[in-house]
Structure 1
Amino acid sequence: MVYGPARLLPGDQIQITTNPDTEPFWQAAREHRLTACQCGECGAFRMPPTPVCPHCGSRKKDWPTLPGTATVFSYVICNKNPKTGEDFVYVPVVVDLDGAPGARLNANVTGCDAEEVHIGMKVAVEWTPIQEDWVLPNFRKA
């Protein structure tokens, strides 16, 4: 099947909520800086961020700046806008974040036809303005 260009969902249709564990991620995104939660004790990365490190039990967190590149771990091709139901090709992905072993992030990918997306594809972060002045990290084919 031919789907055509992978597009990003319109930012005005996306809304997020934050909590004390996710707020640093979203604040960094506002600065166009990709980060992931890293344990301040054992150094293990975890996404999504949690109050306690599942490896060592520490509550200490660091938020290092990552290179902004990743590798597609999984994906699906969608052909309907989930908000409006209109025909709309987009590709949600799960990516392994470079510089943060074990950390994965859900996003969308663009910059290629939907059929080109594959496991192992290298991608680079692209920032999408969304509701309430937040910014969403998405990815573009590298």
Structure 2
Amino acid sequence: MTSAPLPVADNPDTGGFWAAARRGEVAVCRCARCGELLHLPRGICHRCHGTRVAWEAVAPRARLVAWTVAEHQVHPAFPVPYTVVLVELRDAPRVRLAGHLPGRPALVPDMPMRAVFREAVPGVSLVDWIPETTDVT
């Protein structure tokens, strides 16, 4: 099987998210000067123009905002069908993250979701989202 594309885990803007994922955490980026939530993460605050950012862990819980089922294979690492989900973090409602589920799971709007962490390669963990009631880790 072909390996899936990997994130650039040492990117200056998003590296904190991937470092948290390696620890089994979901993290959001905030301005260290004024506390503004920075999503999408960036090195300068859009409110106060501060250049110090901090990553803080949040609960690995979310609600399902939207999803779509892919029926056409676009990459060998992703056999079809698979479902792409968009979730909104419970502790940071302006932060929406995407995830991947195999098959066509039974989903409903606003369904509680939880993060699961999968080591893609040594040192790089991916964050996916599954229904809260799912026993799979």
Superposition TM-score tier, normalisation by shorter sequence:
0.7 to 0.9
Identical residues among aligned pairs (%): 21
Aligned to 2:22: 30
Whose helix proportion is higher, 1 or 2? Answer: 1
Distance in 2, Cα, partners of 1:118 & 1:109: 14
Structure with the largest fraction of strand: 2
> Secondary structure in 1 aligned to 2:97?
strand
Among 31, 41, 45, the residue aligned to 2:37: 45
Give 1:122's aligned residue: 112
Q: How far does residue 141 in structure 1 lie from its aligned partner after superposition?
A: 0.4
Q: Structure 1, unaligned stretches of length 5 or more?
A: 1-9
Partner of residue 53 from structure 2, selected from 38, 56, 61: 61
* d(CA) in 1 for partners of 2:38, 2:90: 13
Cα deviation digits, residues 4-27 of structure 1 (max 9, x gap): xxxxxx893231114111111111
**Residues 95 and 79 of structure 1: CA distance in aligned 2, closer, same or farther (over 3 Å):** same
How far residue 87 of structure 1 moved from its aligned partner, in angstroms, is 5.2
SS in 1 for 2:33: coil
Query: Are the aligned partners of 2:4 and 2:77 in contact in 1 as well (CA < 8 Å)?
Result: no
Q: What's the TM-score once normalised by structure 1's chain length? A: 0.78
1:103 equivalenced with 2:95 (yes/no)? yes
Distance of 2:61 and 2:2 partners within structure 1: 21
1:48, distance to aligned residue in structure 2 (A): 2.6
Confirm whether residue 16 of structure 1 aligns to residue 7 of structure 2: yes
Q: Which has the higher contact order (CA 8 A, sep 6+)?
A: 1
Mapped to 2, the partners of 1:122 and 1:80 lie a distance apart of 27
Q: Can you list the C-alpha shifts for 1:11-64, whole angstroms capped at 9, x where unaligned?
A: 932311141111111111111111011122332223331111223322221211
Equivalent of 1:76 in 65, 68, 71: 68
- Evaluate the alpha carbon distance shift between residue 13 and residue 34 of structure 1 in structure 2; reply closer, same or farther with a 3 A threshold: same
Question: What is the TM-score when the length of structure 2 is the normalising length?
Answer: 0.81
C-alpha contact 2:39 2:95 (8 A) present in aligned 1 = yes
Shift of 1:81: 3.5
Q: What is the aligned length?
A: 131
SS of 1:13's equivalent in the other structure is coil
Amino acid paired to 1:66: V
Structural RMSD (CA): 2.4
Work out which of the residue numbers 125, 129, 136 in structure 2 matches 1:139: 129
